[in-house]
Amino acid sequence: MTAAVLNVEHLRTHYFTRAGVVKAVEDVSFEVRRGKVLGLVGESGSGKSVTGYSIMGLVDHPGRIVGGRILYNGTDLLALSEPEMRRLRGSRIAMIFQDPMMTLNPVLRIETQMVEAVLAHEPMSRQAARRRARDALGQVGIPSPDERLQAYPHQFSGGMRQRVVIAIAMLHNPDVIIADEATTALDVTIQGQILSEVQRLCQSHSTGLIWITHDLAVVAGIADEICVMYAGRVVERGTVDDVLDHPAHPYTFGLIGSVPSRNERGQPLRQIRGTTPSLANLPQGCAFRPRCFRANEICTNEPETMSISSRRETRCFHPLVAQPT
């Protein structure tokens, strides 16, 4: 088992809005290991992206990290000053965003946007930085990278733009990459290409990858380990096979059940009843309780995370798999 490069421990990120405190991330823990992929799964608003931003130290006002630790190679990122954090951002921990149409600045050349990313962390001549950028573009499979450096983002297709973004994220061979819905905006063919590209790059550089998505199919294909998030909490964690084959939390069970499958052609999709609760006004106890088919009185208490086996945890009073006794 490789060592964890990033440990998130009991992370809590809240947004202090006028309407009240929104607990976007509440007691989230996981670890990322070198060369491995952690899938962070959940619906919109489940706190997956905010978890990513928290790690990057990029939580926007009025949000604030109110508790927990984020250990990068043993250093707590939350204790770092802003200049120290800036040095890590983009060089040791990089992030890829969802929409490649929006991630690159429309009014600056690709060259400008790549060279600045190089120079932000390593002082060198512009020529050297440019060569580095060109090589990075080549590495992610962009043809004639020398010319393409001169182009503006709108002259690229969506898939190509996302490759540029990945190239920028990989510029400094980071230890961790956080990919926030990185293939969601792309069509399925391109999605597959990008997925395998990222997987290949991360494995060859032994980069730890956090793959944030709502798409279980993508996670099944890429991840080694899964965290399922619901209403700001990790409700289930385990290896990809364990979680997908034997979900422990009723929410995970419902999610898997609602994926269209070849074997159930013509059948209505099974859906989880109800909708995601507002994070500003969560139900008492387990946040999933009003939608859960196994809930009873005990669920009005806050369930603690409990381990089912080594490397397998869930946050439920009625897990669907047998607990060790």
Strand-pair partners of 178: 95, 210
If the CB atoms of residues 109 and 318 are measured against other proteins, the closer one turns out to be 109
Nearest approach, Cβ of 92 to other proteins (angstroms)?
Answer: 9
* Spatial contact of 170 and 136, defined as CB atoms under 8 Å apart: yes
Catalog residues that contact other proteins under the rule CB under 8 A.
56, 58, 60, 86-91, 94-95, 97-99, 102-108, 116-117, 120-121, 152, 154-155, 165, 168
* Spatial contact of 200 and 281, defined as CB atoms under 8 Å apart: no
In Å, what is the CA distance from 100 to each residue of 50, 59, 182? 19, 20, 8
How far is 263 from 247, CA to CA, in rounded Å? 19
**Can you tell me whether residue 252 is helix, strand or coil?**
helix
Backbone torsions φ then ψ of 89, nearest 5 degrees? -60, 125
* Spatial contact of 95 and 180, defined as CB atoms under 8 Å apart: yes
How far is 305 from 303, CA to CA, in rounded Å? 7
If the CB atoms of residues 120 and 282 are measured against other proteins, the closer one turns out to be 120
- Candidates 165, 45, 43; CA nearest to 100 is 165
If the CB atoms of residues 160 and 255 are measured against other proteins, the closer one turns out to be 160
Nearest approach, Cβ of 89 to other proteins (angstroms)?
Answer: 4
If the CB atoms of residues 93 and 235 are measured against other proteins, the closer one turns out to be 93
In Å, what is the CA distance from 60 to each residue of 49, 110, 179? 12, 26, 18
Q: What is the largest CA-CA distance in the chain?
A: 67
Nearest approach, Cβ of 186 to other proteins (angstroms)?
Answer: 15
Nearest approach, Cβ of 59 to other proteins (angstroms)?
Answer: 11
Nearest approach, Cβ of 325 to other proteins (angstroms)?
Answer: 45
If the CB atoms of residues 116 and 245 are measured against other proteins, the closer one turns out to be 116
If the CB atoms of residues 75 and 307 are measured against other proteins, the closer one turns out to be 75
Strand-pair partners of 180: 212
Nearest approach, Cβ of 105 to other proteins (angstroms)?
Answer: 4
If the CB atoms of residues 28 and 56 are measured against other proteins, the closer one turns out to be 56
Nearest approach, Cβ of 96 to other proteins (angstroms)?
Answer: 9
CB-based burial of residue 187 (10 Å sphere; 0-12 exposed, 13-18 middle, 19+ buried)?
A: exposed
The Cα angle at residue 33 between residues 29 and 39, in degrees rounded to 5? 60
Instruction: Report which residue type is found at 6.
Output: L
Residue 181 neighbours by CB distance under 10 Å: 20
Nearest approach, Cβ of 150 to other proteins (angstroms)?
Answer: 11
- Residue reference for tokens 């149409």: 101
* Spatial contact of 255 and 243, defined as CB atoms under 8 Å apart: no
If the CB atoms of residues 185 and 240 are measured against other proteins, the closer one turns out to be 185
If the CB atoms of residues 49 and 314 are measured against other proteins, the closer one turns out to be 49
Nearest approach, Cβ of 181 to other proteins (angstroms)?
Answer: 11
